[in-house]
Structure 1
């Protein structure tokens, strides 16, 4: 009987050996690819019954719309979401503040910071107006207050992070009730949140994370592709390739290949650029620069169009993306390389065009001038003072006329063409 009770007791004890947590790493700017990655990871962790999802966060900020999408996914999650600002030296800046505050459990590693969430005017035509900036700031402040109130965090600090761009270290954030705890690494985090009660929509959940298995979730191929083309450098290169392709197709109708590749690159570029702060003046300068370089091929400007195109392309590339975040800017190395390669390509194309214009014709009647042949008949004097006969040039028999006395089988050279009659002379006379 005792043995049976003993077995029943242990059978009733929950088995935590199979507990596991999902962990994802979010680094860099917050963009649509990041939002999709976090959303899909939450869904996957929920479906597979994970104890919680840990988001290791290190971001300078990003797009407000993508941030709203992430916060929405976290607030409606059916499992606990832990945002861990990690490793040391990482930050939860701007958009990272909203994401961290929305977590069920907010954690920071030693040597990290959080704050400076004031929205930056990144409109396409440059800085936004004061009225629009105030509207955006008020909207962001209301948004962050809502998040802080729902998670019982410091509402005043959250609003100051938006309006005054304040920032705090991990110890200051813990003291001000911005985060829940400090952990040195993932294992320390899982130990500290073990047994913690978390309120989710379905009720309270007690976390069992001590000695839980850790499953790292990577981006799938689609999310990696979206993240890749969301890179401003890739977007810039795609834009240039797209413009090249379309313009070359217009310049040479029927080529097809440049047009198809150009259209694909442009569509991908527009997807990337809609997630980036575009300056349309910069975009216009890039298009103008390439058009000027194309015109140089057809119009002799003694290099003026090339110089103007290069300057326009360089200035437009620098102005294209207007963002205070380094990760959302185009690398100067990429810009200089792209402009240099573009100018060199067009200079090469111009050189080839000029060479083609100066080259002796290789097809048609004009190509016969200067060619040698053999006289087939004796040239007989005609009434116009020229002697006429037949010659073979390039395996073809032609009527010919000459001012020389030419006998059969003598070598001749073509001096010109009049209608369908060749003007020829003795080859030795040419020498």
Structure 2
């Protein structure tokens, strides 16, 4: 019994010793773990495609057990909606995020910077000027400005920055003595940002930044845009959209007027394909927008070959346009791009019709028959005596067509209704060169 107690006591002492030893060695073991830093570039225009790229990069950083994420920022801004999404993504992230401004963090770029845990800047870099503008550069509704100013203010306050300066970057009515006058947006250089507590430090390069953070020995992993993400960001750019749509419509128009072995048509359809594929990759275009475009295109082709009194064409144009607008990140981008493309192609269509209407597929839709006396056609300047005469249609009257009256072919027109081919007709009046007829039934 005594031996058993002695063994139990010895075991307990051994366990306590192991626990104490582990608690002593744990900090050493943790510090010996290789530190990992993920670097993600925030460049060019801020858009939804960038938001999706950052989401993927953050997932990779979590899988790689990163100690910090550095956002290397150099942008003149972009979409407010995309910036808000990115800001929320940064705020939710558990890994510390450092904004390193390498050049400019203007407009939406400044909001992304304020959302990060710390802000560092290269010498002579800038942050601020975050006024909201439309794609054409016009001022937006004051409610949108107020919303954006509030987002900037809250982001700065949450990270312990000067929220009044953040608001002054959006609202020109904010006046801060020594920093800005009323009517001016605040933009700070690196030295000013450090002076007023917006920046946490200045670093000449990435290596110097890592030293300031105590991460100079960390392994650096750069997350680059995939080819698909690069394509998506390119073709969804608001300034690229009108170009793609213009090329798409122009290719189809040229194919109609000028024979090109299908090359113009292929180029045009490829431009539309890039537009929809890029927006689909970026998560903007759903299958419904692509379906609307395809059905609209098919209806327009049907209108060319099977006349439907314009119904197929009108519905086709509406569906095609709807598909283009719905596929864009912002419907206004799609609408503006489509409007520009239609304007340019209207001019192109006029030029093509004037100089090339006798060539290409369009040539098949042009009436080439010539009316002359040798073929039995006569003028109608002395046809008043035809009133009351009977004849028969040799083509459908829609309402105009051709009829034979007393053995002679005449261009005639009905009273407005359609008359089938082979129908007996009667001349009811002659207005100048216009011979008006109506259906006539022969009674037995």
Match of 1:283 among 338, 341, 360: 341
> Which residue of 1 is the match for residue 138 of structure 2?
127
Match of 1:91 in 2: 104
Which residue pairs with 2:94 in the alignment? 78
CA distance in 2, matches of 1:97, 1:168: 11
Give the paired residue count.
280
- The TM-score with structure 2 as length reference comes to 0.56
1:344-379: per-residue Cα shift (whole Å, max 9, x none)? Answer: xxxxx79xx9xxxxxxxxxxxxxxxxxxxxxxxxxx
Instruction: Please give the alpha-carbon distance, in whole angstroms, between the structure 1 residues aligned to 2:123 and 2:31.
Output: 33
Higher relative contact order, chain-length normalized (CA < 8 Å, sep 6+) = 1
Post-superposition offset of 1:186: 1.3
Normalised by the length of structure 1, the TM-score is 0.57
User: Among residues 211, 219, 222, which one is paired with 1:213 in the alignment?
Assistant: 219
The alpha carbon displacement at 1:245 in A equals: 3.2
8 Å contact kept, 2:257–2:356: no
1:178 corresponds to which residue? 198
Aligned match for 1:191, one of 206, 211, 223:
211
The CA RMSD measured in Å over matched residues stands at 3.4
CA distance in 1, matches of 2:69, 2:352: 54
Q: Give the drift of 1:113.
A: 0.9
1:17–1:211: 8 Å Cα contact kept in structure 2?
no
Secondary structure at 1:162 match in 2:
coil
In the alignment, structure 1 segments of 5+ residues that lack a partner are 195-208, 301-348, 354-431
> How far apart are residue 101 of structure 1 and its match?
0.2
Pick closer, same or farther for the CA change 1:292–1:16 going to 2, 3 Å. Answer: farther
The answer to whether structure 1 residue 49 and structure 2 residue 74 are counterparts is: no
Deviations 1:186-207 (A, max 9, x none): 122122223xxxxxxxxxxxxx
Distance 1:243 1:232 in 2: 18
Which of the residues 111, 114, 118 maps onto 2:131? 118
Describe how 1:13-412 pairs up with structure 2 within 5 A: 13=28, 14-86=30-102, 90-122=103-135, 127=138, 132-164=140-172, 165-194=185-214, 209-231=215-237, 234-248=240-254, 262-269=268-275, 274=328, 278=336, 282-298=340-356
Question: Which string of whole-angstrom CA distances, capped at 9 and with x for unpartnered residues, describes residues 270-323 of structure 1?
Answer: 6679358536653332121222122124559xxxxxxxxxxxxxxxxxxxxxxx
Distance in 2, matches of 1:250 and 1:65, equals 40
| Partner-residue secondary structure (3-state), 2:85 | helix
For 2:26 and 2:153, locate their aligned partners in 1 and report how far apart those are by CA, in whole Å.
Answer: 46
2:242–2:337 contact (8 Å) kept in structure 1: no
1:191–1:293 CA distance, 2 compared to 1 (3 A): same
Cα displacement (A) at 1:162: 0.4
Unaligned runs of at least 5 residues, structure 2:
1-13, 173-184, 280-324, 364-444
- C-alpha contact 1:17 1:212 (8 A) present in aligned 2: no
